């Protein structure tokens, strides 16, 4: 019986180690994007998805302001910024190039967002590494990108985390 238990435990650990993605981010389409067309097409690049009722909303504008401080670093890391604007299509007035999510109400529902503002960080592996309803400093977004699931798993192997 113990041998069977050990075998099942070993198989489940191997399967979970190969799975890699603990919290897969729901896929969504992008408006007018020549780059990919969907989140799946962005695999291999970190994605920052910002939900807002309006591009003029105070929380959204504050978050964009904070992100702008570190935009050069984000650009080096090939971070893609996506806005899900719930009150209809709007352009984002910013130095940060935002791609607009198609069907933002559906995207918000898929991500469980029910408030007027949220920000999500999706890792290069498609894992939903962070989702919060608070405006966060750009350094927190950077940390979520840099400390993604793959990094954490590698650190565990080396005895880090």
Query: pLDDT tens digits, residue range 126-157?
Result: 999 999 999 999 999 999 998 865 555 554 45
Averaged pLDDT score across all residues of the chain: 82
Domains of the chain are: 23-157 (3.40.30.10)
Instruction: For residue 33, give Cα distances in angstroms to 2, 71, 101.
Output: 55, 20, 10
Q: What is the end-to-end Cα distance of the chain in Å, rounded?
A: 33
User: Per-residue pLDDT tens for 96-107?
Assistant: 999 999 999 999
Among 95, 67, 85, 78, smallest CA distance to 28 is for: 85
β 47-52/117-122 pair status = antiparallel
Claim: this prediction has a pTM higher than 0.75: yes
């Amino acid at each position: 019986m113990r041998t069977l238990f050990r075998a099942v435990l070993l198989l489940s650990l191997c399967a979970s180690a190969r799975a890699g993605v603990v919290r897969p981010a729901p896929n969504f389409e992008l408006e007018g994007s020549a780059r990919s067309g969907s989140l799946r097409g962005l695999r291999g690049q970190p994605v920052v998805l910002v939900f807002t009722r309006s591009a003029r909303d105070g929380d959204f504008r504050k978050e964009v302001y904070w992100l702008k401080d570190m935009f050069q670093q984000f650009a080096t890391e090939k971070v893609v910024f996506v806005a899900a604007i719930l009150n209809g299509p709007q352009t984002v007035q910013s130095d940060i190039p935002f791609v607009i999510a198609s069907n933002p109400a559906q995207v918000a529902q898929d991500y469980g967002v029910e408030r007027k503002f949220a920000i999500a960080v999706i890792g290069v592996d498609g894992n939903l590494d962070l989702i919060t309803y608070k405006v966060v400093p750009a350094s927190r977004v950077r940390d979520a990108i840099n400390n993604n699931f793959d990094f954490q798993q590698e650190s565990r192997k080396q005895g880090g985390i």
